[in-house]
Amino acid sequence: MSAAAYAYQARLRQGHWFSALPMELQEALLTAAQVQPLAAGQVLFRRGDKPCGLYAVVAGGMRIGAVSATGKEALLTLVEAPYWFGEISLFDGQPRTHDAFAESASTLLWVPQARLLTLLEQQPQYWRDFALLMSQKLRLAFIALEEMSLLPAAPRLARRLLLMAENYGEGEPRRVLHLPQEQLALMLAISRQTTNQILKELEGQGIVRLTYGEIEILDWPRLRQAAQ
């Protein structure tokens, strides 16, 4: 087992996907993993890059999105530890679908594509575990599309705050989100002004506290009510 990767085992086991894996698969991933530090703003991969493997965030945060030829950004999500990503290209062998870069100084565990494919050729029963990782994200993507079509901006924003605070179903909930308002606006495809107005209303109700680059959740039950 990689000694460097093993140092992050306890952190990874705080996540629901990794902790539910068979112990043999957990050990295989840690054995194959390499520690990859990233500076703030450093690009991990770009849309169209060749598949390179699976990643786990163990410190810091990653920003997943895309930038058009005119410079317009579409921000899909911000993820923090213990979050795994990159599995789509494992299944289809196609180029990366989006850009990924470090939101802050971050540390990743990287399991190279070749090591994963060798493991899965030897132990094909593990394909189901990686399919569960992908299907969880697909489910969340369908929910987000439905909400964008059916819900007003305010409950959509509250739901996204809850989803991020629960780290998209991975790990323990956290009260403080390191999330500038302009990034939240990009994720929800609403204006910066509308985002600020909704957040100010939530702050006025004592549901959240706003500071520079952060949103602190003060009242979980009332935030869930706002998301209805």
Neighbours of 70 (CB within 10 A): 5
Is 90 exceeded by the pLDDT of residue 18? Answer: yes
**DSSP 3-state of 35:** strand
Nearest-angstrom CA–CA distance, 163 and 18 = 19
Is 60 exceeded by the pLDDT of residue 34? Answer: yes
Is 60 exceeded by the pLDDT of residue 1? Answer: no
What rounded mean pLDDT belongs to the chain? 92
Least confident of 76-90, 105-119, 158-172, 187-201: 158-172
User: In the chain, helix, strand, coil percent, each to 5?
Assistant: 45, 25, 30
At 184 the pLDDT is 92
DSSP E strands in 93-132: the ranges are 99-102, 106-112
How many Cα neighbours within 13 Å face the side chain of 97? 12
Residue 2's pLDDT band (boundaries 50, 70, 90)? low
pLDDT, tens digit (0-9, with 9 covering 90-100), for 163-191: 889 888 777 788 999 888 998 998 898 99
Residue 150's pLDDT band (boundaries 50, 70, 90)? confident
Nearest-angstrom CA–CA distance, 210 and 65 = 24
